[in-house]
């Protein structure tokens, strides 16, 4: 597809500090907006100028195509992390840097590759970045071991009743992890005036959550046709800046430079 690449002004590339935070981003149901939140949060953190985030795709997301990474890396080498792990090659220190973010995504050529639990851990632990955001989208039930290997977890919830009911078992698992580890951030995504907040809260029974409004779908389409992260569009940025600031404040971020 002949899409147009629209960029922000590029920031100089920097190298990540030794301190790092591993964050699992998981939806309680499919289609909760996990990949959307992951890439927008990465952009928000990179824009602060104080962090060098990495995005690691561990689920069945399609960020490579949605952001148009083939356009971003035209004329540059894209390192295939998944292929390297499948062939038992080292991934330590490797990076796909673009506009301040290290993108560790599955390219179309790697679609058939399925990583083991140990390989996923290697991918996360060797990712270059001080905040490693792990996109676990598309998993029917996220792997307990993988979640517990994270320093913190962001649980993404679509408040439509059918999705909440479908994700009830995962929700219970995440709430139990919150009791054990106290490092959970619950995010209500796609909030809109059709949501009955009382019924939603009675079902979820979570103490505190960050609320993200439903983004007009035309913004998502516009972003993809321009090979951009949705957060770079003015309307989306205005809607997300405050909730992403809340999430950032709740993260145990490494010491700023």
Question: What pLDDT is recorded for position 14?
Answer: 42
- Determine the Cα angle at 44 with ends 38 and 49, to 5°: 130
Distance CA 178, CA 190 (A): 23
Copy the structure tokens of residue 148: 């517990």
- Could you read off the pLDDT tens digit of each residue along the chain, which spans 257 residues? 665 565 554 444 443 444 799 999 999 999 999 999 999 999 999 999 999 999 999 988 899 999 999 999 999 999 999 999 999 999 999 999 999 999 999 999 999 999 999 999 999 999 999 999 999 998 767 888 999 999 999 999 999 999 999 999 999 999 999 988 778 999 999 999 999 999 999 999 998 999 999 999 999 999 999 999 999 999 999 999 999 999 999 999 886 55
- Determine the Cα angle at 139 with ends 145 and 165, to 5°: 105
Question: What pLDDT is recorded for position 19?
Answer: 76
At residue 153, the 3 state secondary structure works out as strand
Copy the structure tokens of residue 186: 């619950």
* Residues 174/154, Cβ–Cβ less than 8 Å: no
Question: What pLDDT is recorded for position 240?
Answer: 98
Phi first, then psi: give them for residue 182, nearest 5 degrees.
55, 40
Question: What pLDDT is recorded for position 60?
Answer: 86
Question: What pLDDT is recorded for position 16?
Answer: 40
Pseudo-torsion of CA 40, 46, 52, 54, nearest 10°?
A: 20
Question: What pLDDT is recorded for position 4?
Answer: 59
- Determine the Cα angle at 137 with ends 135 and 143, to 5°: 85
Question: What pLDDT is recorded for position 183?
Answer: 83
Question: What pLDDT is recorded for position 11?
Answer: 44
């Amino acid at each position: 597809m002949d899409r147009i690449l629209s960029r922000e002004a590029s920031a100089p590339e920097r190298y990540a500090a030794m301190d790092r935070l591993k964050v699992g981003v998981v939806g309680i149901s499919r289609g909760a907006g996990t990949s959307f939140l992951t890439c927008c949060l990465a952009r928000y953190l990179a824009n602060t100028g104080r962090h060098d985030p990495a995005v690691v795709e561990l689920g069945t997301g399609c960020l490579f195509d949605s952001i148009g990474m083939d356009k971003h890396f035209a004329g540059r080498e894209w390192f295939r992390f998944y292929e390297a792990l499948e062939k038992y090659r080292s991934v330590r220190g490797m990076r796909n840097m673009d506009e301040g973010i290290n993108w560790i995504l599955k390219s179309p050529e790697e679609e058939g590759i399925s990583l083991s639990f140990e390989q996923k851990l290697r991918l996360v632990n060797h990712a270059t970045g001080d905040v490693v955001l792990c996109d676990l989208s598309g998993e029917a039930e996220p792997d307990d071991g993988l979640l517990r290997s994270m320093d913190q977890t962001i649980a993404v919830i679509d408040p439509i009743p059918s999705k909440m009911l479908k994700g009830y078992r995962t929700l219970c698992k995440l709430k139990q992890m919150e009791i054990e580890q106290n490092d959970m951030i619950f995010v209500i995504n796609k909030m809109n005036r059709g949501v009955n907040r009382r019924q939603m809260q009675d079902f979820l029974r979570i103490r505190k959550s960050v609320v993200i409004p439903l983004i007009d779908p035309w913004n998502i389409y516009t972003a993809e046709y321009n090979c951009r992260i949705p957060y770079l569009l003015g309307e989306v940025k205005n809607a997300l800046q405050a909730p992403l600031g809340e999430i950032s404040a709740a993260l145990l971020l490494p010491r700023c430079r």
